Amino acid sequence: MQEIPRKLKSFLSILVALNLLFVGFIIYLLCFKQSNSLQLERIDIKNQDGANRVVISNENHIPKPIIKGKEYQRKMTPAGIIFYDKNGDERGGIAISEYDNMNLNAIAFDYQNADAIGMYAQDNILTNYFKAGISINDKDLSGKPGYNINRINIVTENGNASLVIKDANEIPRLVLKVDSLGVPAIEMYDKEGVVSWKKGD
């Protein structure tokens, strides 16, 4: 049996730990006083130097992303949890948001400049459309904020499941998929993104 990649294993371990922490926090709140509830819009957990390490916030008070001490605009303003390194730079988080009739939920852990690995789920409020997946990126060594090189995607979209492996130019080179009818296929692409070999489908 093929061994789970170390990066994915670490990501799943952290995800389990976060879930246990969240469940423990909920149990604590429920048991602390059954007649009362704790109602807050934002919680900042800081280190001794005053830098944020964890922020829990609703969508109205979510902080802007910080990379190398500089703030950037968010594409959306979700509610969620944000993790920071000891310098106060964002290193990942959990986001829950709604945009253009879509529920968008994500968990991400970052390199120093942008996402390293992420898990997401989305579905349309008005239709039956849904999509969920895991995305794994290489680090962009140029250090360009907000951008890394996407290499692996594991996706299910409206019943069509696929594994897409890309080269360093983000061109898909190997695709394994099973469609909503259960039909499998394997495709290989050349460096221009043109199909060079195909089986099934």
Above 70 in pLDDT, residue 3? no
Above 70 in pLDDT, residue 138? yes
Tens digit of each residue's pLDDT (9 = 90 or more) over 86-114: 988 999 999 999 988 999 999 999 998 78
Better-scored residue on pLDDT, 178 or 144: 178
pLDDT, position 36: 60
pLDDT, position 1: 46
pLDDT level of residue 65 (50, 70, 90 thresholds): confident
Rounded to whole angstroms, the Cα distance separating 66 from 164 reads: 30
Nearest to 43 by CA among 34, 53, 33: 53
Rounded to whole angstroms, the Cα distance separating 166 from 89 reads: 29
Q: Per the structure block, which two tokens stand in for 130?
A: 């849904």
